[in-house]
Structure 1
Amino acid sequence: MVHKLATLLLTLQNGRALAAKQSIAEAAAILKPASHDVIRLGDDCAAIPDGDGYLLLASEGFQDNFVRSMPWFAGYCGVMVNVSDIAAMGGRPVAVVDALWSDTSEAASSILTGLREGAGTYGVPVVGGHTNMRSTHNSLSVAILGRARHLLTSFDAQPGEVLIAAIDLRGRWHDPQPFWDASSALCGTEGAARLRGDIELLPSIAEDGLSRAAKDISMAGLLGTALMLAECSGVGMTIALDNIPRPDDAPMERWLSAFPSYGYLLTARAEDAEAILARFRGRDIAASVIGQCDSTLRLDVTWGDEKEIFWDLAQTPLMGFAP
């Protein structure tokens, strides 16, 4: 009899989200960066040394089926997901630019309205881009510039540290996409100030030296994101599913496949964990210690009294960015 945990993990291992992350290695092999010492690959943003801090540069692209079916939300997400990447690096957003292709001006108008309203909600200006309203398809790419004084990276998780998950559970499913949306309902309201304050937690944690490693929970889901963090840092992890903040009515498989609008993984020394948790909880964001870093290069998962190996990085790389 196949146990419940093994079945769950097998479904996640064979999902499209992790397959997409494995494709990153192919792109990196072609581009062949000149120096890994200056810009390390595998992080949420490129961190470019600049004076007493870092410029942060990132981008996101959205496929035709998503942009066509949910044009306003696609535009909004163009800002939302990029701001999340900047925060995951301990930074604050400076500006965004977009590249838009649409088959009609009406479609473009809806996409750009979402982009504008997302920019207003998160307080980051749209400063330019590329527009084509006579295309054969609808697609969107948005790039962001940010700045950090002290970095949170994917490369600095250490064996012995705890793994913390912080997720805003005050949201809803944005069907048919796997989005847990705790953001767009606040667009254009005084709740926008709350969103900006929530984002500010990440750079403040970095600047106060409470954590050095973090990632935002991406389309790879919580376990996939943890796996990327473990690979880049050259560590293993054990994660307890029972400890993950989760809405009461969210099935475990769906939740582990979700992309939350506000969701972060951070590692920290055990003595600093409570201070980090208190900052998130003080803003009504669910946060808990969900695991431990070790030196095994495996991602092990427990659920109830079951324990299984989700991924062994020593046997199967993910993105190929191990130290």
Structure 2
Amino acid sequence: MRELDVVRAIGGLLPAAPEEVLIPVGDDCAAVRFGEAVWVAAADMLVEGHHFLPGRTSPEDVGYKAVAVNVSDVAAMGGVPRFVLCSGGAPEAEAVLRCFRGVVEACASFGVYPLGGDTTRAGALTVDVAILGEVPGGKPVLRSGAVPGDLLAVTGELGAAAAGLLALQREEAGFERLVRRHLRPEPRVREGLEAALLGVHAMIDLSDGLATDAGHLCEQSGVGCRVDLRRLPIAGDVRRLAGGDAEVLAATGGEDYELLISAPEQTLRELARRISVPLTVVGEVVEGGEVSFHRGGEPVKGLAGWDHFRA
């Protein structure tokens, strides 16, 4: 089973949602209405040996990243991150304490308040963060709104986090910026807010890689897309490290936590004017359900991002 199959199966076990639940399982966050306010909620878990390299990732970095990836989910809904709960375990108590120091540091960086959580002894360092965010205006941006004729754009750059992981695995010096991008992601909260205010049609954060997450967005919207690998925003240090595989790495590597946005061209132009990070058009939304990647007009087959149960 793929991760998506597991999520669908879990969704099938759930009872009918109460009326307060606006968005159940299936998007970057769930959304719930409390009175006049709409809140979004998400949770993400990091496990040693699966999500980060043992011995090469400090517990502080693990705690920081666990918060950052949740903040990114809220950003993808056009929300403001507000509160987190964090639970974690490790073989030694000191590692748990160090991890929570990273959690607190990230909360300070992103303006989030840590409400509490739980700790326990565990066979490997594991941390799970749940987040609550508030949606200004009460209308979260979903994955399901893309329509044929939209353009697809990404914030920032792609491939840096995956390249940073490669640098750690190869123990290559000189790529500290990329390693930091892997260890300490920069969620695009301001960019997500501006996108929501402009009424973009759909949005998703790039956690599993463009090749996978574009598929999630298109499946939820009932559309297809065409992506040009030559248009992907890839930094020079990523190209130096990855060589000729830079475009494939950028499309499949995952953990960039940039935003993939579907919107009309005019909306994207205005968004680019309002935000400080680059916004790059990488493709277009088309009719049908096919997600295709091309390089110089030639199709590139077999691209797939991260899957937790096939990695």
TM-score by length of 2: 0.80
Q: Cα deviations across residues 281-320 of structure 1 (Å, max 9, x unaligned)?
A: xx1x232111111221110111113025669xxxxxx9xx
Q: Is 2:292 aligned against 1:300?
A: yes
Change (3 A) 1:279 1:183: farther
Q: Which of 111, 126, 129 pairs up with 2:99? A: 111
- Supply the distance in 2 between the matched residues of 1:80 and 1:205 (Cα, whole angstroms): 19
> What's the offset of the Cα at 1:67?
7.6
- Supply the distance in 2 between the matched residues of 1:117 and 1:256 (Cα, whole angstroms): 30
The 8 Å contact of residues 170 and 182 in structure 1, kept in 2 or not, is answered as no
Match of 2:233 in 1: 245
Q: Is 2:144 aligned against 1:155?
A: yes
- Supply the distance in 2 between the matched residues of 1:183 and 1:136 (Cα, whole angstroms): 24
Q: Is 2:265 aligned against 1:265?
A: no
Match of 2:46 in 1: 62
- Identity across aligned pairs (percent)? 27
> What's the offset of the Cα at 1:155?
1.1
Q: Cα deviations across residues 128-180 of structure 1 (Å, max 9, x unaligned)?
A: 00111x33332110000001123111111112111111124796643257987
Match of 1:288 in 2: 280
Change (3 A) 1:269 1:303: same
The 8 Å contact of residues 91 and 148 in structure 1, kept in 2 or not, is answered as yes
> What's the offset of the Cα at 1:28?
2.3
The 8 Å contact of residues 96 and 142 in structure 1, kept in 2 or not, is answered as yes
Match of 2:129 in 1: 142
The 8 Å contact of residues 159 and 250 in structure 2, kept in 1 or not, is answered as no
- Supply the distance in 2 between the matched residues of 1:21 and 1:180 (Cα, whole angstroms): 28
* Structure-to-structure mapping, 1:119-268, within 5 angstroms: 119-132=107-120, 134-149=121-136, 150-168=139-157, 173-175=163-165, 181-182=180-181, 199-209=189-199, 211-218=200-207, 220-248=208-236, 249=239, 250=242, 251-268=246-263
Question: How many residues were matched structurally?
Answer: 279
SS in 2 for 1:86: helix
Paired letter, 2:32: I
The 8 Å contact of residues 299 and 309 in structure 1, kept in 2 or not, is answered as no
Stretches of structure 2 lacking an aligned partner (at least 5 in a row): 170-177
| Range with bigger deviation, 95-104 or 48-57 | 48-57
SS in 2 for 1:43: coil
Match of 2:3 in 1: 20
SS in 2 for 1:61: strand
Paired letter, 2:16: A
Paired letter, 1:109: L
Stretches of structure 1 lacking an aligned partner (at least 5 in a row): 1-17, 187-194, 312-317, 319-323
Q: CA RMSD in A?
A: 2.9
The 8 Å contact of residues 67 and 139 in structure 1, kept in 2 or not, is answered as no
> What's the offset of the Cα at 1:277?
2.3
Q: Which of 77, 87, 92 pairs up with 2:80? A: 92
Q: Cα deviations across residues 108-132 of structure 1 (Å, max 9, x unaligned)?
A: 1221111111111112111100111
* Structure-to-structure mapping, 1:4-43, within 5 angstroms: 19-29=2-12, 31-35=13-17, 38-43=22-27
> What's the offset of the Cα at 1:262?
4.1
Match of 2:175 in 1: none
- Supply the distance in 1 between the matched residues of 2:146 and 2:30 (Cα, whole angstroms): 18
The 8 Å contact of residues 229 and 251 in structure 2, kept in 1 or not, is answered as no
- Supply the distance in 1 between the matched residues of 2:204 and 2:44 (Cα, whole angstroms): 15
Paired letter, 2:91: D
The 8 Å contact of residues 298 and 310 in structure 1, kept in 2 or not, is answered as no
Paired letter, 2:46: F
> What's the offset of the Cα at 1:74?
1.2
Q: Cα deviations across residues 42-89 of structure 1 (Å, max 9, x unaligned)?
A: 200001123344210000011132385422221011110001100100
The 8 Å contact of residues 164 and 265 in structure 1, kept in 2 or not, is answered as yes
- Supply the distance in 1 between the matched residues of 2:180 and 2:160 (Cα, whole angstroms): 5
Paired letter, 2:294: T
SS in 2 for 1:154: coil
SS in 2 for 1:238: strand
Paired letter, 1:286: P
Change (3 A) 1:185 1:300: closer
